Structures are given as structure tokens and as C-alpha cells.
Amino acid sequence: MNATKIDITHIPFSRYGAYVAVTRDENREGKAAKELIIQSVRRRFQESPLFSLAFGKDEDEDFSCSAVPEVLTVENANGRVQIYIRDDDTVVIDSRGLDIRLKQLHWGYGAQKGERSFHVMTGTCSLISSIEVPVGHAALDGPIDNIGRNRRTDLSVSCEDGRILMAVSVSPKEPKDIALPILPDEDITAVRKEWESFMTLMPPEDGHDPKTAEFAGVTWYNLWSCFVRAQGCYPNDTMLMAKKVMTSTWSWDHCFNALAMAHLSDGEKAKKTAMNQFSAPFFLQTDLGVLPDMWNPDLETRWGTTKPPIHGWCFGKLMDRFDFTAEELKTVYVWLKKWTEWWTERSDTDHDGIPDYPQGCDSGWDNSTLFDIGFFLESPDLPAFLILQMRTLMRIAEKLGETEKAEYWLQRSDALMRSFLEHSWDGERFVAKLSGTHEYEEHPTSLLSLMPLVLGDLLPKDIFGKLAERLERDFLTDNGPATEMPSGKKYDPDGYWRGPIWAPTTYLIVDGLRRGGLDELAKTISERYCAMSSSKAKGNYENFDALTGLGRRAPGYTWAASVYMLLHWEYGC
């Protein structure tokens, strides 16, 4: 098995189950920083970078950096360092010849607990790190606070007989004892075996050229390394969105990860792993049916906003792959029924039969130009998703032999389709109306207005054709569909949902085009997205510049990785 080579400026270095990761930043010119960053994925955004790790005796030295799934290697003319993730919370650093400086990146304080043991409290993030240095001369120092106190949060370690061996273990509650001795060769071998076991679950790469197969392997690592162990509000091992910046789960991102895991080569494991990802937010579903916006096992569960109801669409695709027991179907039926009724009964502000998004974040398209007109918006994607969800409820009822329930959901989906077309289709395009006044922008420039393409052959053929024609003419770039019309005045290349390409919308559109009979257009979009990810961005990001194809925002983002793998498998790109 060829080694999978990881560029940690594009994908954080971690392993399955771990709550820690190691990354390296680049500046705008693409020059790598003279430090590594130890991330705690128990915290999000600016709080996830916990320590910087620099090498050299008197000043930070530049270094080259290479990684395979089991070990990260740093080296320059003065020495070589191996770094690996020992367990879910612990990073081990084994240096031959290079001194080390470990610097805390947030407010906190440190203390020496033994000859070779240290504790560092990160007050800003409420995390406690235990540090053991079995080999090396270590001392805590600085920084000095504004009244002259030494908070002792920086650890300097010099080589002892040419070597340093140290471990850093991060805990949210209390200092964690680090088991000794530390045996790097044995530990690294164990990680390699774990990774190789997961690699056997990847569908074969027969027929793909070597570069494509190589990037697929890297992307598979991206998915494997983003799992965290079941804990807190994660009842199952769960794939985070990323292990840098976006270190949580959101209530639609997980659906794409579920679909990717459904392709594991072991059918039983595929179904279990896919359902673990799919079911994740439903363990938190309220009695009224709403799902949380996001959640993290150690930090928070965020309510007040939610995410779009693509879950029926997702489970329908899982039903295409797997057989489910009656008990499994009954459980999902209750989840989707409550979720559907929350939207139709509790998010229809003017009671006109067309539900609305209170604001952009509820749609998943946080700052889309479609919402420039105002909030409580009857966006055309929402009825489309609910029609598909009702169809999935119909399929579940049919599988359970509940013919009356099946007929009920068929009638409801057909009725919503009729109301939706009458309400939102102006003869040329779908428009988004403000709830109550029904004011709308006559010429929307957001791709969000084209998302009813996800309905595929459920849409009237002439409407589907007009949407596809506008998609190809106004939104499709050399890299995929931009979220804002590139020729429009509101287009912003780094404007979040006001320009860049996003993986979930790309896959939803591709799936709808395929079901609507436009498979060639679906294939073109798939090929462009995959080429962008592998050749231009060279990684999987939260989103991508629609014109240059470069990655934007969080690197190593799993819904981008999952969509890449899905398109790679489905279209051979």
C-alpha cells in the first residue's frame, strides 16, 4: 500500500477519534509559517488554536514538513522531529537535535508539578493541558502580564543527549495523567494499522489515473481523521466538519458525510456508520421537532437558528442503498414527521401554506443576496426540500405497509407542489417573497433561487429546463456553480454565500439534474468540481473561489471531502 502524503497546510493532521490536531498556516504568498499549531477541536473558531510549536535553539528556524497518516515529520539541517497523535487527547513530539518552544496562544497560567511534569491552564478556553518530558531539559517561563506577573505558560525544551521526547495532553475538566513510558515506534505502528484498516473500506480506485487516485486517498484521510470519539451529546463516533476553525457539527453538513460513509466497502459497517452520521442531530430534536443549528460534545448546543430540511432527501438516498428494519424505519419516520411539521406549522409566519426562513442562517446560506430584501423569507428551496421530505415519508410508510399514511404524504407533497408553483413561479423564474407582504426581488442573482432543481423530474419539464438553462448560462464557471451570478453587481469572490462555490449546493444540484434527465450537465459540473478540488485548491475547503478555484475558509472541511468522494465515485472524475 502506497503511503498517503498529507499537506497539513490543506488538511489538519489528526487521527480517527482524536480531539487534537496539528496544522501549519501559510501567508497570502503561500509561504509556510515557522511554527506548527496544536489545535483543540473541543473549541471553535479563534479558540481552537491552543499552542504554537517552534523549533530551534535561539530563534525560530524554518523547516520542511511532511506527513503520512500516522506521523508528521519536521526537519531542517539541524535535526528532525516526529509528531504523532498518541490517543484521543495527546500529541507526542520526538525530536532528534532540534530544541522546542511550546507557546500558549490564549490567556492562562502554568505550573511545574514534578521534575518532568507540567500543567498549563488555558483560562480563555477552559482547557487544562498536562505535559510530560521524559527526555529533555524543560522550563516554564513568560509571558509577563500587565502588572508584572510571570504567568509561566511558555515551555522551552532543550535536547538532552541530542533528544527531546515529550507529550501534551489536553483535557476539558482536569489534568490527564500521561501513561509512561512513551514508545514512539510502537505507537506509530498502531496508528498506521488503524489507518490501513480504514483504507480497506474505501471503494477500489480501479480505472482512475494515479493523480486522481492519490487525491482520493488524501480525501479519504480527511474524512477518517475528522472523526471524534463518542462523548457528551455525540452518542456515536461523529465526523466534525473540520479539525481547524469549524470544529463542530451543523444540522445539514452531516447529511453529506452520511452519504459518503454509505459507500464503505463493508455493507454492514457502511450502513451503521452512515446512520450514525445521519442520526446525529435527531438525538437533540425538540418535542416540537426543530433541530439545533450546531453542537459540539464539550462546548455548546446552539439553538435559535436551524438548518434546511434536506434530511428527507438524504434518507431517501440511504434507502436506495440499504434495507432497513421496521424499527429503524419507524424511528426515522417519527424524526422526519416532526421535522416536516415544524416547518409547515411553526415556520409559516403568514399562514399562507408556504413556509419561510426567519433569516439566512436557517437556510444554510447565511448571507445570500436573496435575503437582502429582508428576513422571514419564503425562499424557493424550502418547499422543494419539504416536498422531497414528504416523498420520503411516503416511501417509509409504504415499506411499513401503512397505505393510508403513504397516501397522506403523497397528497401533501402534491398539494405543496401546486401551492409552491402558484406562489413562487413567475413564469420565468422562482422568486423569494417576504412573508406577509409578499414583496420580492424581480430578478434574483443568487443561486439559491435555482435550488428547486433538486426536485428533478418532480418539477414540470418546462420549468426544470428553464432553471437548468439559467444555471448553465449565468452561474456555471470553470470550477462549478457560483452561489452568486459572477456577472452581477453583488458578486464577491470571497463573499461567503455571495459568490464562492460550496460543496453541498453543488451536490444537491448535480443530484437534481441527474434525476431530471440532464446527466451530461451533471457530469460536467462534477468533473469541474473535482478538478478544482484536486488541482487548484489542492484540498477540501469550506468553500472555493468560483473563478480561481482556490480554497476559502476552513481547510480539511468534510462536507467538501464527502462531496468530492461522492462525485468521484458516481462520475469517475
Sign of dihedral through CA atoms 50, 55, 56, 59? negative
Q: How confident is the model at residue 208 (pLDDT cuts 50, 70, 90)?
A: confident
The reported pLDDT for the residue numbered 58 is 81
pLDDT tops 70 at residue 241: yes
DSSP-based three-state secondary structure for 20: strand
Q: How confident is the model at residue 1 (pLDDT cuts 50, 70, 90)?
A: low
Percent of the chain surpassing pLDDT 90? 90
For residue 3, tell me if it sits in a domain. no
Beta-carbon-side half-sphere exposure of residue 77 (alpha carbons within 13 Å): 2
279 and 417 belong to one structural domain? yes
Residue pLDDT, tens place only, 21-71: 999 998 766 788 999 999 999 999 999 999 999 999 888 999 999 999 999
180 and 207 belong to one structural domain? no
For residue 1, tell me if it sits in a domain. no
pLDDT tops 90 at residue 148: no
Residue pLDDT, tens place only, 84-142: 999 999 999 999 999 999 999 998 999 999 999 999 999 888 999 999 999 999 999 87
Beta-carbon-side half-sphere exposure of residue 283 (alpha carbons within 13 Å): 18
Task: Give the residue among 506, 496, 495 at the shortest CA–CA distance from 471.
Answer: 506
For residue 172, tell me if it sits in a domain. yes
Is 221 within 8 Å of 526 (Cβ atoms)? no
- If you average pLDDT over residues 425-451, what whole number do you get? 97
272 and 171 belong to one structural domain? no
The reported pLDDT for the residue numbered 142 is 79
The reported pLDDT for the residue numbered 512 is 98
Residue pLDDT, tens place only, 521-567: 999 999 999 999 999 999 999 999 999 999 998 999 999 999 999 99
d(Cα 404, Cα 386) in Å, to the nearest integer? 19
Q: How confident is the model at residue 157 (pLDDT cuts 50, 70, 90)?
A: very high
pLDDT tops 90 at residue 209: no
pLDDT tops 70 at residue 404: yes
- If you average pLDDT over residues 296-308, what whole number do you get? 94
Number of independent structural domains in the chain: 2
For residue 71, tell me if it sits in a domain. yes
313 and 229 belong to one structural domain? yes
309 and 330 belong to one structural domain? yes
Question: Higher pLDDT residue, 300 or 433?
Answer: 433
Plot region of 307 (φ>0 → left; ψ -120 to 50 → alpha; else → beta):
beta
Task: Give the residue among 41, 51, 56 at the shortest CA–CA distance from 154.
Answer: 51
For residue 14, tell me if it sits in a domain. no
For residue 6, tell me if it sits in a domain. no
Cell for 61?
Answer: 528556524
Domain-terminating residue out of 177, 193, 209: 193
541 and 561 belong to one structural domain? yes
213 and 132 belong to one structural domain? no
The reported pLDDT for the residue numbered 190 is 98
Q: b vs e for 35-72, b when ≥16 Cβ sit within 10 Å of the residue's Cβ? A: bbbbbbbbbbeebbbbbbbbbbeeeebebebebbbbbb
Domain-terminating residue out of 137, 158, 193: 193
Q: How confident is the model at residue 20 (pLDDT cuts 50, 70, 90)?
A: very high
- In the chain, DSSP finds a helix count (H) and a strand count (E) of 13, 25
Phi–psi pair at 25, nearest 5 degrees: -90, 160
d(Cα 556, Cα 546) in Å, to the nearest integer? 18
Q: How confident is the model at residue 298 (pLDDT cuts 50, 70, 90)?
A: confident
Residue pLDDT, tens place only, 459-507: 999 999 999 999 999 999 999 999 999 999 999 999 999 999 999 999 9
Rg (CA), the chain: 25
- If you average pLDDT over residues 158-186, what whole number do you get? 96
Range of the domain at 171: 20-193
CATH number of the domain bearing residue 48: 2.70.98
For residue 10, tell me if it sits in a domain. no
187 and 206 belong to one structural domain? no
362 and 298 belong to one structural domain? yes
Domain-terminating residue out of 193, 226, 259: 193
d(Cα 56, Cα 199) in Å, to the nearest integer? 36
Is 189 within 8 Å of 197 (Cβ atoms)? no
222 and 154 belong to one structural domain? no
CATH number of the domain bearing residue 221: 1.50.10.10
For residue 15, tell me if it sits in a domain. no
186 and 225 belong to one structural domain? no
336 and 238 belong to one structural domain? yes
